[in-house]
Structure 1
Amino acid sequence: MTDDITIRPVLTAPDRRRFVDLPHRLYRDDPHWIPPLRREALALITPARNGWFSHAEAQLFLAERDDVVVGRISAHIDTLALTMPPDRGFGPGVGQWGLFEAEDAAVAARLIVSAEGWLRDRGMIRALGPISMSVWEEPGLLVDGYDHPPTVMMGHAKPEYRGWIEGAGYHPVKRLLTYDLDITRPFPPLVQRIVRSGERNPRIRVRTVDKSRFDEEAALILSILNDAWSDNWGFVPLTAPEIADVGVKLKPIVYENLIRIAELDGRPVAFMITLPDLNEVLKPLGGSLFPFGWAKLLRWLRRPRVRTVRVPLMGVLKELQSSRLASQLAFMMIEYIRRASVEGYDASRAEIGWILDDNQGMRSIADAIECRVNKVYQIYARDL
């Protein structure tokens, strides 16, 4: 029976808090779920605190049973995504939903219908999900890799969600892969030779970022990123308001020797961003910095020691992507960051991704350094 379920829009600040609090109950017995900081989760869904809303609109919904919140979902339309080529995932008439959580299958079905109705009322003819809320945040549903925690800025989900979403008529349209890498071992001899060859090339310089010029370096990386990723499935260019918000969020966990920019003849042409896995320190905090979480987090930020680092973004200008130079620059940046991660942060593993399942260039690089796929996320679609 589903008639005891009430679906209503989120309209007030208390509603937003209930929306954010629900996963803390649903996952309380899951040892691999990482409670996000509530203030960060609230910022994501608050237009005044998330630059993504400068080009998007969203409606959040709560599902309730006997006045208890038992599910949630967001429905959203990104005006920039509507302008993208249809053969790359988005395009005219394509809306999204995300931030999906449900206590049972009946709740899930009602939530998805509500999100679809909101999108249909605004002229959308196709829905993609889950995308929470931007493709740059936590896209896709975890479908493989439930047995270990996600790294920073990656999602987690209950295994049941896959069946519930597919049962609502959705079919997978894209897989996103993350790779696990043992960084305590040197790379294979071939990769080492490629790195040494690059080091002998006077045209190539691989440098660390300068955090004292944070805004300038961020703008430089953004320009490479928007060019390098522009032909990828699901690409939507990052905007200035989003970059400003991401900068505020990530600056505390930006460490100069974990982010590299590759230059060719003095011109920046590639970058690689690596972050220490903040989730390792967040997990015991339970989503709150009070009363003692602030002190623990600040102490960790001054000198982070982690088991894992994550590579969320890497890019080479399109003009070089079909050349051998592209992989050489990638191997050089990966090697330098591997050394820094082990020597400076005590890390023993890296997670690379997500990587689109049809991105053969990046998957070849991952294979060459002997990575293995450790998590798979899936994006679904359905015509409305």
Structure 2
Amino acid sequence: MSFSHNNTFKILPVTTSQQQELFLDVPKVVYANDPNWVSPLRSSIAKQLSDQNTFLTYGKFQQFIAVSSDNKPVGRVVAAVNQRLIDKEKEQLGLIGYFECINNFEIAQSLLDNASEWLRSHNLKIARGPIDLSTHNNCLFLVDGFDSPPMVMMPYNPPYYPEFWEQYGWEKAKDAYAYNFPLDTPLPPEFAKAYRVACKSGVNFRTLRTKGKEFEADCISLYNLFNTAFADNWSSTPRTQEEFVEEAKDLQGLVDPDVFPVAEYNGEMVGFFMGLPDYNIPLKHVNGKLNLPGILKFLWYKRQIDRGRVIAICSLPEYKRKMVPLALIYLGLQAGIEKGKPYKRAELSWVYEDNFPSRKLIAASGGKIYKTYRIYEKAL
């Protein structure tokens, strides 16, 4: 399957290691002059798209690369079948992700043409994206808030990406928000009160354990909580315990336990506040490679981290009456401003626009929307 326009570029399915290297090179071309872009780790993207990815036990995908007439990479995209998502949503739904493209609509159109045709060839009726195989990887386009760099594990893109997709006929499926928390403003007194109420109700709080067998035990508890609390999340599919623990191990050395409190009742984990330092600050300096020079740069610039991202706040429903969510917010944000901690602000991201209970809780704690993201859909 190949596409071309005016002999200035062509679209090719990625079938060789050389083409895979070009595929991985595309972001460097697109963001060459963008001061806010932070390169993802090249090895991480390569691992996601390798034939060793467990995704291939329940799905399939095809990469496409756009190259110029002098064989320079100018765009890329991946079309995917995620059978778990099809089974969950009961729709013939395909995914399009890993989209990157120079500011040229003809190239973007041709990439999306090829990805859409591949999905149609697998009898799919609707395309959704941008989603990189699943929402557990990178997903969403930034549509508002381009004036600052992304936090760790959050998407970033040029403003013309959503414009190109809308011009191609994609329509908004759902928006999501990132909330900004300045840590120099104290929480309302209700949050400290909630912590006291939770403690009197028999709930115990501690930090995540990050070593050895204790870490693995906490990961399994987190996995069970995720699967219970987030089972109905839109466009999301459950991971196996093995997949979850493997992903957690990738983050094990990056966790600051003080901003990752967990709640327990009778020895069982019933809630957590998942905070992570913003490692995009040092990652910006390693150019996507954690080789020896990259590791040294990472360790050097790690000292500059002064903000963090709150990835999730979770509580089993029956413990909301015991004020566990508010208590976890109190502990997580208080830990971020304790003496010796460098954090000046936090971001809570991302929260879907129709998740009104979470949005109400975040607003009550002082969070303000400062970035908006979007997932699109298109009939095939």
Instruction: Give the drift of 1:180.
Output: 0.7
Instruction: Identify the match of residue 342 of structure 1 among 328, 331, 337.
Output: 337
Question: Does structure 1 conserve the Cα–Cα contact (< 8 Å) formed by 2:93 and 2:124?
Answer: yes
Instruction: Identify the match of residue 32 of structure 1 among 9, 33, 36.
Output: 36
Question: Does structure 1 conserve the Cα–Cα contact (< 8 Å) formed by 2:260 and 2:274?
Answer: yes
SS of 2:150's equivalent?
coil
Alignment-mate amino acid for residue 42 of structure 1: A
User: Could you tell me which residue of structure 2 aligns to residue 175 of structure 1?
Assistant: 175
- Report the Cα distance in structure 2 between the residues aligned to 1:196 and 1:187, rounded to whole angstroms: 15
* 1:203-242 superposed Cα distances (whole Å, 9 cap, x missing partner): 1111112222122111110110111011221221022342
Question: Does structure 1 conserve the Cα–Cα contact (< 8 Å) formed by 2:25 and 2:73?
Answer: no
- Report the Cα distance in structure 2 between the residues aligned to 1:65 and 1:299, rounded to whole angstroms: 38
SS of 2:198's equivalent?
helix
* 1:101-157 superposed Cα distances (whole Å, 9 cap, x missing partner): 111111111111111111110111110011123111222111011110001111101
User: Could you tell me which residue of structure 2 aligns to residue 54 of structure 1?
Assistant: 57
Is 1:21 aligned to 2:20, yes or no? no
Aligned CA distance change for structure 1 residues 237 and 318 (closer, same or farther; 3 Å) = farther
* 1:265-320 superposed Cα distances (whole Å, 9 cap, x missing partner): 4332111211111100011222223452212334667xx55221111122222455
What is the root-mean-square deviation of aligned Cα atoms in Å?
1.9
- Report the Cα distance in structure 2 between the residues aligned to 1:154 and 1:362, rounded to whole angstroms: 19
Instruction: Give the drift of 1:99.
Output: 0.7
- Report the Cα distance in structure 2 between the residues aligned to 1:283 and 1:242, rounded to whole angstroms: 27
- Report the Cα distance in structure 1 between the residues aligned to 2:318 and 2:377, rounded to whole angstroms: 32
Is 1:96 aligned to 2:95, yes or no? yes
TM-score, normalised on structure 1? 0.91
Describe how 1:172-321 pairs up with structure 2 within 5 A.
172-199=172-199, 201-212=200-211, 213-298=214-299, 306-320=305-319
* 1:295-353 superposed Cα distances (whole Å, 9 cap, x missing partner): 2334667xx55221111122222455xx433xx21221122122222335310111101
Unmatched runs of 5 consecutive residues or more in structure 2: none
Question: Does structure 2 conserve the Cα–Cα contact (< 8 Å) formed by 1:51 and 1:245?
Answer: no
SS of 2:337's equivalent?
helix
- Report the Cα distance in structure 1 between the residues aligned to 2:95 and 2:160, rounded to whole angstroms: 21
Is 1:329 aligned to 2:324, yes or no? yes
- Report the Cα distance in structure 1 between the residues aligned to 2:26 and 2:105, rounded to whole angstroms: 16
- Report the Cα distance in structure 1 between the residues aligned to 2:76 and 2:242, rounded to whole angstroms: 27
* 1:246-273 superposed Cα distances (whole Å, 9 cap, x missing partner): 1232112023222222123433211121
SS of 1:34's equivalent?
coil
TM-score, normalised on structure 2? 0.92
Aligned CA distance change for structure 1 residues 242 and 53 (closer, same or farther; 3 Å) = farther
SS of 1:77's equivalent?
strand
Question: Does structure 1 conserve the Cα–Cα contact (< 8 Å) formed by 2:282 and 2:304?
Answer: no
User: Could you tell me which residue of structure 2 aligns to residue 369 of structure 1?
Assistant: 365
User: Could you tell me which residue of structure 1 aligns to residue 351 of structure 2?
Assistant: 355
Aligned CA distance change for structure 1 residues 295 and 12 (closer, same or farther; 3 Å) = same
- Report the Cα distance in structure 2 between the residues aligned to 1:347 and 1:170, rounded to whole angstroms: 39
Instruction: Give the drift of 1:354.
Output: 0.6
Segment drifting more, 208-217 vs 337-346: 337-346
Alignment-mate amino acid for residue 311 of structure 1: V
Aligned CA distance change for structure 1 residues 220 and 300 (closer, same or farther; 3 Å) = farther
Instruction: Give the drift of 1:42.
Output: 1.6
User: Could you tell me which residue of structure 2 aligns to residue 76 of structure 1?
Assistant: 80
- Report the Cα distance in structure 2 between the residues aligned to 1:157 and 1:243, rounded to whole angstroms: 27
SS of 2:151's equivalent?
coil
- Report the Cα distance in structure 1 between the residues aligned to 2:368 and 2:74, rounded to whole angstroms: 36
Matched length? 371
Alignment-mate amino acid for residue 32 of structure 1: N
Question: Does structure 2 conserve the Cα–Cα contact (< 8 Å) formed by 1:258 and 1:273?
Answer: yes
- Report the Cα distance in structure 2 between the residues aligned to 1:232 and 1:34, rounded to whole angstroms: 28
Identity of aligned residues (%): 29
Question: Does structure 1 conserve the Cα–Cα contact (< 8 Å) formed by 2:194 and 2:324?
Answer: no
